[in-house]
């Protein structure tokens, strides 16, 4: 389970030349009782895995839409502990990997070893921690490795080549390629250098590379996935869920994973 299941699920998509699609959702937005229903819906729409965000008071990587969703979730009393507890209640009723995205402070407050153990019990397959630098990651990496939970690293376009290569070698599950210079949120277009950046990561990674941040429609998803293995969509999914536009989410996912033009390799 855990890391092994996540990597196998993604690699099966790569081997089949299919686009990986990972939606991001904010746990507790609209109430934590919605989490199981939302997870099941995204699974039936064709999501490869689901990134479950934990609301936090100082989300440095998040743009306005996800920040607002986090505030709504916090108003419902959502915490890291309540999300893990909720995930545990339906771990046998989902068939795709679950990834938790949280900041370091909630993990430290929770207790690192306890966090890893409870994630394992809840069927969590991977963890993303955007505010822990590579030089400090040993704070959590050992505990996650012990429980076979993938520690997913983020790579930034502003990092030097040497650092990107090292991150590509270290990441587990997949390498999260941040495709914009800034926080999450919808963008009309991506930097024209993004394909070269993704190619560099692909050339140095033994696991799938997924592009995230700024992806808001199927056309962008298909363009980015030419140069990598798939995409992560957050703000658009969060906004559509908040507005109850489930059909649009289904169309976005189906349009993004539809066979596209030849990938750049």
Residue 179's CB: how many other CB atoms inside 10 A?
27
pLDDT at residue 183 above 90? Answer: no
Strand partners, 211: 177, 231
Please report where in the chains the tokens 């407050």 appear, as a residue. Answer: 109
* pLDDT above 70 (res 191): no
**CATH number of the domain residue 95 falls in:** 3.20.20.70
pLDDT, residue 181, reads 56
Q: Which residues are catalytic?
A: 51, 62
Residue ranges of the alpha helices (H) in the chain? 3-15, 35-45, 64-75, 80-89, 104-110, 112-121, 138-146, 161-170, 194-204, 218-225, 235-242, 246-257
Q: What pLDDT, on the 0 to 100 scale, is given for residue 223?
A: 87
70, 53 contact by CB (below 8 A): yes
Secondary structure class of 100 (helix, strand, coil): strand
Angle between helices 112-121 and 138-146 (to 10 degrees): 30
Report if residue 262 sits inside a domain.
no
DSSP letter at 91 equals G
Would 225 be classed as within a structural domain? yes
Residue 191 included in any domain = no
By percentage, how much of the chain surpasses pLDDT 90?
80
Question: Looking at 110-124, 147-161, 167-181, which range is the least confident one?
Answer: 167-181
Mean pLDDT of the chain: 91
The answer to whether position 253 is within a domain reads: yes
What integer is the mean pLDDT of 236-263?
A: 87
DSSP letter for 258, please.
Answer: S
Of the chain, the end-to-end C-alpha distance in Å amounts to 30
What counts of helices (H) and strands (E) characterise the chain?
A: 12, 9
Domains: count for the chain: 1
Q: Report pLDDT for 179.
A: 82
Alpha carbon distance 73, 48 (integer Å) = 24
198 CB-near residues (< 8 Å, 6+ apart): 177, 179, 209, 211, 224, 227, 228
Range of the domain at 230: 3-152+215-257
Mean pLDDT, range 41-63, rounded to an integer? 91
pLDDT number for residue 11:
96
Is the pLDDT at 48 greater than 90? The verdict is yes
Residue 110 falls inside a structural domain: yes
Q: What is the pTM of this model?
A: 0.92
Q: Is residue 199 domain-resident? A: no
For residue 180, is it within any domain?
A: no
**190, 160 contact by CB (below 8 A):** no
> Partners of 24 in the beta sheet?
51
Does a structural domain hold residue 196? no
CB 9 within 8 A of CB 97: yes
User: Beta partners for 101?
Assistant: 53, 128
């Amino acid at each position: 389970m855990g890391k092994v299941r996540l990597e196998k699920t993604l690699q099966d998509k790569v081997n089949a030349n299919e686009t990986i699609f990972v939606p991001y959702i904010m746990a507790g937005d609209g109430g934590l009782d919605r989490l199981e229903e939302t997870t099941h819906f995204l699974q039936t729409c064709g999501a490869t895995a689901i990134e479950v965000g934990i609301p936090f008071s100082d989300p440095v990587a998040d743009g306005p839409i996800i920040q607002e969703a986090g505030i709504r979730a916090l108003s419902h009393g959502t915490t890291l502990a309540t999300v893990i507890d909720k995930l545990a209640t339906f771990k046998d009723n989902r068939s795709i990997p679950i990834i938790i995205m949280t900041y370091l402070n909630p993990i430290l407050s929770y207790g690192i070893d306890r966090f890893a153990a409870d994630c394992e019990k809840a069927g969590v397959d991977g963890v993303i921690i955007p505010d822990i630098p590579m030089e400090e990651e040993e704070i959590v990496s050992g505990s996650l490795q012990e429980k076979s939970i993938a520690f997913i690293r983020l790579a930034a376009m502003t990092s030097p080549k040497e650092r990107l290569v090292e991150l590509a070698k270290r990441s587990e599950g997949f390498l999260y390629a941040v495709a914009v210079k800034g926080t999450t949120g919808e963008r009309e277009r991506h930097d024209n250098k993004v394909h070269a950046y993704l190619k560099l990561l692909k050339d140095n990674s033994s696991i799938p590379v997924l592009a995230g941040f700024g992806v808001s429609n199927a056309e962008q998803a298909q363009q980015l996935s030419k140069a990598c293995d798939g995409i992560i969509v957050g703000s658009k999914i969060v906004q559509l869920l908040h507005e109850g536009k489930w059909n649009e989410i289904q169309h976005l996912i189906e349009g993004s994973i539809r066979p596209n033009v030849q990938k750049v390799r």
